[in-house]
Amino acid sequence: MPENRYVHGYSTRESERLSDQAGALTALLHDDTRYPAGSQVLEAGCGIGAQTVILARNSPGAVITSVDISPESIRGAEARIRKEGITNVTFRVGDIYSLPFPPGSFDHIFVCFVLEHLADPGRALRQLRPFLKDGGTITVIEGDHGSTFFHPDNADAHEAVGCLVRLQQDIGGNALVGRELYPLLLDAGYRDVHVSPRMVYVDSSRPALVEGFTKQTFTAMVEGVRDEVLKQGLMEREAWDRGIRALYRTCEPDGVFCYTFFKATAQKYPRRTGP
């Protein structure tokens, strides 16, 4: 099967979903990634550029190369970056498993919401490693749909989320990859692997997250696979609808919603101690 299949599709609504997600989560996920002026940064798997904008703004002096396998996504990302007036990013179409750069081209590699869509994330990480200079770093950010829990609890809602996990698995992805970043990076030959979980905790005292994350990001993403779930008979229509209603129910004043992203950093070689 082609490795650029993407469980969420490439529709306009999906573009908006990614844009909302980036807005609500920027601080939580990105604020501690700042690359020095002049450093060469590879963003592997930039999609439509939702994370590229944040990356480029947080490291305005870095020289960023962003690649994606989809020419359509690259066109979208270029338009977005141009519209934002950002000038430190160059785009190119490329396959994360076989990029055309000379060894040691980059000081830093950045991979965000990409591994979940790959059939072999370990191979991608191994293939990326030679592009780093000695002592260079890789940063990886991924979600984990299995980290989802909420109040009031609801079995149909968990089953609906499970359908999304299964559909992503069917096309060769892994929606539970967040929890695996430590062993994946270690196995791919990186050292000094450090993983930091970033939980999005949402209750009604945080209305921007209720709207921007629970509703417009997470529940919209689950709703996006409704037709496929019903077509394949993974859930009965009524149970599915109860599950979706239960996810919206967590947005009421007494509701709570939790989801965890994982952010990992690692080095090509261990940090040198002393001269």
Tell me the torsion sign for CA atoms 42, 61, 74, 91: negative
- Smallest gap from residue 133 Cβ to its own copies (A): 24
What mask, x for binding its own copies by CB under 8 A, covers residues 110 to 149? ----------------------------------x-xx-x
Give the separation between CA 252 and CA 152, rounded to whole angstroms. 10
Please return the burial class of 30, using the count of CB atoms within 10 Å of its CB with bins 0-12, 13-18 and 19+.
Answer: buried
CB 49 within 8 A of CB 76: yes
User: Among the candidate windows 2-10, 82-90, 173-181, 207-215, which touches its own copies by CB under 8 A?
Assistant: 173-181
CB 222 within 8 A of CB 160: yes
**Token duo for residue 139:** 């940063």
- What single-letter amino acid sits at 169? Q
The answer to the question of residue 57 lying near its own copies (CB under 8 A) is no
User: Among the candidate windows 20-28, 62-70, 72-80, 249-257, which touches its own copies by CB under 8 A?
Assistant: 249-257
- Smallest gap from residue 5 Cβ to its own copies (A): 23
Q: Which of 203, 221, 247, 268 binds its own copies (CB under 8 A)?
A: 203
Give the separation between CA 15 and CA 6, rounded to whole angstroms. 13
Q: Is 245 left (phi over 0), alpha (psi -120 to 50) or beta?
A: alpha
DSSP 213: I
Whichever of 13 and 151 has its CB closer to its own copies, that residue is 151
User: Among the candidate windows 9-17, 26-34, 37-45, 182-190, which touches its own copies by CB under 8 A?
Assistant: 182-190
- Total interface residues for its own copies by CB under 8 A: 30
* Residues making contact with its own copies (CB under 8 A): 144, 146-147, 149-151, 153, 176, 179-180, 182-183, 186-187, 193-197, 199, 201, 203-205, 253-256, 258, 260
